[in-house]
Structure 1
């Protein structure tokens, strides 16, 4: 149990960045629950179905793309599962579904394939592109 009163403003990237004050009158009756909203969504763009296309992620209210460096079938499996689109058929690069625009949010992904969301995969960090939109990642999933 933390003995601090945490007062987040909403723009902190981690809870430990929130201002906190000592609160010594806590007891187990004072427990609080925390429910997190999914701050990142995934979509497929320019494919011939909702389960095929260029991979785009929503981060901080803006859609951006994923660089194809290290883009592979385990990463594609995570996207297909996240979108309820079955199994991956192909993990494509070189902007197969056309180049995107805006930020390249994710680069150098390292997914094992068991992650529940793409945001749980390792990466070079947010908005740390190592490629251009000519190398946007795409996926074809078995679903429709």
Structure 2
């Protein structure tokens, strides 16, 4: 993991601010994002194959096979950072998709979003 130091604080690249947890491979699991120095989850409201496609491509995991809802990979913990994420499916990063304000969600962790991607983990 490469860290860039900006203003005395370590900054992650967009790819390093996104991870999957709870799946049976590096390319499936609950979607988690890094924000305000902690990992949190993404609510499944509006979650579809378009959003899953962006996550899979951003992580170098091929194409989205499934966009899972209802904490299919188990509930996360910490903050629910994103809600109402809406992608077209061609964005280079989840951060380029429309979404509600960071940290403002009406969800519980039983609504954490997940993905199952076609490929195995590979670097771009």
TM-score higher than 0.5: yes
Q: CA RMSD in A?
A: 1.7
Select 1:68's aligned residue among 44, 60, 65. 44
Higher RCO (CA < 8 A, seq sep 6+)? 2
- State the partner residue of 1:32: none
User: With structure 2 as the length reference, what TM-score do the two structures score?
Assistant: 0.84
Number of aligned residue pairs: give it: 111
Select 2:35's aligned residue among 16, 40, 59. 59
In our comparison, the structure showing a higher alpha carbon Rg is: 1
1:112 equivalent in alignment to 2:84:
no
Q: Which runs of 5+ in 2 are unaligned?
A: 1-6
Q: How does 1:62-141 map to 2 (within 5 A)?
A: 62-141=38-117
The Cα of 1:37 is off from its aligned counterpart by 5.9
User: With structure 1 as the length reference, what TM-score do the two structures score?
Assistant: 0.73
